[in-house]
Structure 1
Amino acid sequence: MNAKPNVTDEHASPRPLRIAVVGGGFTGVAFIIHTILATRPAAGTTSAARLHFDLVERSAEIGRGVAYGTRDPLHRINVPSDRMSLLGDDPTHATRWLATHGKLKPGDTDANGHHYVSREAYGAYVDATLRDTVTAEGNRVHLTRWHAEATSVHLDGAARTVTLDTGASIQADRVALCIGHATPVLPCDVPDSVSQDPRFVQNPWLPGVLEHIASHRSVLIVGTGLTMADCLASLLARGHRGAITAISRRGLLPQPHGVFWSAADFLGDAPAPTSVRALLKMLRARIARDKDPYGWQPAVDALRFDLPRIWPALPKKEQRRVVRRLLPFWDVHRFRIAPQVHDVIHAAISKRNVIVERAGMTAIVAAHDGLRVTLARSLGETERRTFDHVVLCTGPSRDVFANPLLHSLRTEGLARADRAGIGVDVSPISQLVDSEGKVVDGVFVLGPATRGTFGEMTGAPDIARHIERLLKDAKTSILGACRREQTTR
């Protein structure tokens, strides 16, 4: 009998594309979801790319990170659920899921019908959407979970190896660094005697950490942003009677919501400004035009949506001026507060139950009667005061290279800081840029670490839309062959 010839099956599935995703918070989940959606078979066809994701995340839960890991129902998303959909072409996707799964609670909805649900509920939506998306693909998509931290990325020709702190390593065709916000920085040197003192709360997101503060005790909150707002909401809801003081260098509080605006029409037909002065002039003119009857919020939103055109046009010197002088003011107007939280906090401020001061903390020591803090004010003035408890709400550090993996990449010459000095330099399609200004094939950085390149990449909706656009408009660059090219910076 003649032997059968060796025949290759034309319909055999090709090797799956292996993608290592470092970071399992919102950014990592959004990337996986949109990669799956972008590679689904086109209408009238049956073939689709097979995908294998290796998701590296130390935390037990996926999709939550710091922002959505809290279990306190008073900690709300600061944007209505209809603007928090993971899917850009389905704006009510999040709201429908929340309603269907009983996550919309009394008090979540404001007078205008907008839903500001708990951060925990939104985190459940993110996790469920990932699970549903992966499950719907059957054998086409496989997801492996690694409970670890990535310590390095090594490139050898077309091969990419991600090393983990467990000693294991992952071989990948593509690497997506979905690293979240940098760890909050301490406002001053904190001695061990303070850092180990239960009266000093370094991480206000830890479960139950604020419950140990007796209601009659005095509290100093360092920071006056959205984290402070969540902490205040928790303390006040428990009937805290003691004096609460919140400090920051500028004493700025998150601003309230107004009319929502989704049109990217800030520039119109005008060219992008090339100086901070010109940009501020345009913003003030737009606010003056829209203030009656809409208020200032639509002008800020319009600027936000046009930032992809505006930010790259600013020279390096001007970008750094924005970071140095204007970023805190932009943040409190851009990242506004849920109306329920706003009403509670401002009622407490008006009653003097909460006092907001302009000051910085420059020293802290532990004493038998409390924590003694040195406050620095304007004109070099200092003041020493004692508080029963100190809670840090300082927000993320701007030093993204404090992250061990990013630090390793920069040390190896595979990464550098962006022009604004607040993140990792990436190409227009989010490819990592090395120390010589060349893109690193197959390695992408997504999320907050890229804010300095794109002007804004902090809020969940911005991150999701950015990832969605990249995968739809530049799919061959991200999922196909990546070409090494000189950036235009």
Structure 2
Amino acid sequence: MTVPIQLHMRLRIIVVGGGFTGAAFILHAIRSLRGPLDFEVIEPAGEIGRGIAYGAADSRHRINVPSERMSLFPDDPLHAVRWLFDKDILPGDGASRDAAGHHYVPRRDYGAYVADTLRQALSETRGRVRLRHHRTQAQDVCRQGARWSVKLADGEAITGDYVILSFGHAAPRAPFPVSAEAAADPRLVTDPWRNNALAGLSRDASLLLVGTGLTMVDMVETLLSRGHQGGITLVSRHGLLPRPHGLFGVSVDLLQGGAAPSSALALLRLVRRQVREAVRQGLGWQPVADAVRFDLGNIWPALPVAEQRRVIKRLLPYWDVHRFRISPQACATLERAIWTGRVVLQKAAVLSVEAESRSLVATLRRGGTVERRPFDGVVLCIGPDKDLNRNPLARNLLASGLARSDALHFGLDVDRHSRLVADDGHAHATLLALGPMTRGTFGEMTGAPDIVRQIVIVTRSMADSVAMQASA
């Protein structure tokens, strides 16, 4: 849906969400758009650039990718590493270095890198770029002539030439019934990323951690570092744990010049064949998983929607544990805890949680058996809620027809340039969505490197569009 941009003295861009994705977008927009810019950033948190992912206070919560692969600038892969050395975070943090010489720094330090890089970039523009931070939430977006008006929760309305949706998902919520008494019990931790979320759990408490992905890993690190003595039980439907890292920098030609697979089964067979060959060569399976990730832009669109659904239903849990791998430090902690019996892993589905007497009682289904087990605390490690209707802005966009869900109902539908697709199938030229909410379109848009690569494409396309209209 192309509506001409009314060029003003300053191009105004409204960025809804000031976590990693929003900050990375602003950085690359500054690089690509040469004229005067005003950014209106809608972000409730006090600092732009951290978000939930990199706002963790616990130094044991580390990025799960080496810092040399986490640069904000793909054309300068060591940018993050240089910053970490300049700030004496490296090599001072000796615990971050693994046996191969890679550094897995605390998430809070990486968040500081993002925030400081943004501050420096803004200062270097010497007034060409201005940024205003609104510590509130966006409620609605509507057309105002050739521009957009964004209504804020505090009652203010902001008008801009572009709107960039870069907000994260909603806070976690239980995917199973929880009694009212259990919901009000502080020993049920639904949002483990909330400040001092685990403070109400005694050190000798028997705990149930629901979910066995990266969030669980961080919670185990925190609990054990606090000297937790009670039993810790981990459960998930598939009982899978994040896999460790292997070789980096090894290139695997996944498609080998051939066409992308057109079915979930063909994709699985291709990956298995490549893994067998990589293992035979002594490379391990990790380079193949990385090749799938980096070639997903060609693989995912080639799959019909029915086959994409089949991938989600049948393969996603196995893909996630190979894709979202674990830092060596956290891997060692978790393996040691399981080996010594401090942590027990079980394949089970949680059917409900209730409060009874002095315990939280979880009803678990293990195979064909259903059992009720008491715990002193339950921690949800299931990741953020992906229901867009819980976000007022997304809900209003869908209701108005300005946006629609993607075919997989993973998030908002966008085109290849991240332009939001309306209910009538047309893409808005100046209303865009970035980050995890676009995963259904791209197959993967969760990791920082993936998000940055897409942002580079988006900001260059924006620059071309603005330049064309300026010369028209």
Range into which the TM-score falls when normalised by the shorter chain: over 0.9
2:242 is equivalent to residue 248 of structure 1: no
Pick from 14, 17, 26 the counterpart of residue 11 of structure 2: 17
* Residue ranges of structure 2 left out of the alignment (5+ in a row): 1-6
Residues of 2 paired with 1:38 and 1:263: CA distance? 29
- The one-character-per-residue Cα deviations of 1:145-191 (angstroms, maximum 9, x if unpaired) are 11110011001330210000111010000000012234323121223
Using the aligned pairs only, state the percent identity: 48
Offset of 1:264 from its aligned partner? 7.0
Alignment of 1:417-428 (within 5 A): 417-428=405-416
For residues 249 and 334 of structure 1, the distance between their equivalents in structure 2, rounded to whole angstroms, comes to: 18
CA contact (8 A) 1:262 1:301 kept: no
Counterpart for residue 197 of structure 2: 209
Tell me, yes or no, if the aligned pair for 2:364 and 2:370 is still in contact at 8 Å: yes
Q: 2:118 aligns with which of 121, 130, 133?
A: 130
| 1:396 equivalent among 372, 384, 391 | 384
Cα gap change, 1:421/1:263 in structure 2, threshold over 3 Å: closer, same or farther?
A: farther
The match for 1:339 is 328
What are the residue-to-residue correspondences of 1:337-376 with 2, within 5 Å? 337-376=326-365
* Length-normalised TM-score, structure 2: 0.94
User: Could you say which structure has the greater relative contact order, defined with CA pairs below 8 angstroms and 6 or more residues apart?
Assistant: 2
CA radius of gyration, larger in: 1
Query: Is the counterpart of residue 382 in structure 1 residue 376 in structure 2?
Result: no
**Cα displacement (A) at 1:239:** 2.2
Partner amino acid, structure 1, of 2:25: F
Residue 102 (str. 1) matches residue 88 (str. 2)? yes
In the alignment, is the contact (CA less than 8 A) between 2:171 and 2:191 conserved in 1?
A: no
TM-aligned CA distance change 1:261 to 1:255, over 3 Å: same
Q: CA deviation at 1:195?
A: 2.0
Partner Cα separation in structure 2 for residue 325 and residue 433 of structure 1: 28
AA paired with 2:327? Answer: A
Distance (Å, rounded) in 1 between the aligned partners of 2:468 and 2:378: 51
Q: Per the alignment, in what secondary structure is the counterpart of residue 20 of structure 1?
A: strand
Amino acid at match of 1:407: R
Deviations 1:329-350 (Å, cap 9, x if unpaired)?
1111001000000001011111
Task: Please identify runs of 4+ aligned residues in structure 1 that moved more than 6 A.
Answer: none
Deviates more, 1:383-392 or 1:416-425: 416-425
Pairing partner for 2:60 from 61, 65, 74 = 74
**21, 27, 39: which one pairs with 1:27?**
21
Amino acid at match of 1:259: L
Question: CA offset at residue 202 of structure 1?
Answer: 1.4
- The alignment's TM-score, normalised by the length of structure 1, stands at 0.91
- The answer on whether the counterparts of 1:190 and 1:364 sit within 8 Å (CA) in structure 2 is yes
CA distance in 2, matches of 1:207, 1:217: 20
**Partners in 1 of 2:68 and 2:204 — Cα distance?**
39
Letter in 1 for 2:89: K
Contact 2:56 2:193 survives alignment (8 Å): yes
- 1:216 shift after superposition: 1.7
Q: 1:84 corresponds to which letter in structure 2?
A: M
Alpha-carbon contact 2:252-2:288 (below 8 Å) kept: no
Change over 3 Å in CA distance of 1:264–1:481 after alignment to 2: farther
Q: Does 1:319 align with 2:314?
A: no
Tell me by how many angstroms 1:281 deviates.
Answer: 1.0
How much does 1:240 deviate?
A: 1.7
Classify 1:235/1:187 alpha carbon distance in 2 versus 1 (closer, same or farther; 3 Å): same
**Residues 1:32 and 1:270: Cα distance change in structure 2 (over 3 Å):** same
Structure 1 unmatched ranges of 5 or more: 1-12, 40-47, 483-489
